[in-house]
Amino acid sequence: MIKVKRVYDPLEKDDGIRILVGRLWPRGIRRSQIDVWLKDVAPSDELRRWYNHEPDKWEEFKRRYFEELSRNPKVEILLQLIKKGNNVTLLYASKSPYNNAVALKEYLEKVLKV
| pLDDT over 80 at 114, yes or no | no
Please tell me the predicted confidence (pLDDT) of residue 20: 97
**H-helix segments, 40-91:** 45-51, 58-70, 75-83
Please tell me the predicted confidence (pLDDT) of residue 6: 97
User: What is the band of 85 on the pLDDT scale with cuts at 50, 70, 90?
Assistant: confident
Please tell me the predicted confidence (pLDDT) of residue 113: 87
Please tell me the predicted confidence (pLDDT) of residue 104: 98
pTM equals 0.94
- Average pLDDT of the residues in 68-96: 93
Please tell me the predicted confidence (pLDDT) of residue 86: 80
What are the residue boundaries of the structural domains of the chain, listed by start?
2-112
Instruction: Express each pLDDT in 2-59 by its tens digit.
Output: 999 999 999 999 999 999 999 999 999 999 999 999 999 999 999 999 999 899 999 9
At 66, the amino acid letter reads: F
CA distances, 77 to each of 1, 6, 29, 81 (Å)? 15, 21, 23, 6
